[in-house]
Structure 1
């Protein structure tokens, strides 16, 4: 063997590739790819979902914003109904029922802001149904 043959690494000496964590130009632990094999998509979602539209529904951020907006609209609507009801008949029960419903809307807004959207939705629906039932059954 000549001196020039001893200085050049051979294909059988993988020491340099092992130091970098690769073998033969590919990442360690990956199987070699057959020639002509098409590349798989980056993720299965990209191939199934056109133009970034997700079929799962709302994102958590969108759900929070939607529930905050719905509770805010209901809060304003309940305030208007409270004023109209107080103009027709002054009663502590009217203030109590609609005041509690407005407080419930505020609680739902805070729950939604803190990420508790499902709990907020159930409270909002249950509270509003209760307020309507009390209005129909209890208030004169």
Structure 2
């Protein structure tokens, strides 16, 4: 009982870092992103590479590139929505027009969508803030 009260006191007062040897928050977040990127690569290879190619280069005039993609990197919510709900019609990526139909991948879990977007948005010249499963869940409801 006393031990439980002590633990509750430590957690509610924010003193846990003083009594437990934990990693800094930035290191934990970096490790979490690193794991997400590994999982995301598998999701990408299974679901995306056939159109967008193994290195995200796309196919000119057919499938837009994900590598160094201004369209992809401009709006993270739009990127989440595109994976979840698909995309139809004309878009402009890096100054080139593409008219395409990308199928919805709503069969992917929230974690898989977050992971594949983290992989895509942090490779091939792209750099973005991590997407979380909670963000995907919120977009899925729209």
Same fold (TM over 0.5): no
Larger relative contact order, structure 1 or 2 (CA cutoff 8 Å, min sep 6): 2
Q: What TM-score, normalized by structure 2, do the two folds share?
A: 0.29
Q: What TM-score, normalized by structure 1, do the two folds share?
A: 0.30
The structure number with the bigger radius of gyration is 1
Q: Which structure shows the bigger proportion of residues in strand conformation?
A: 2
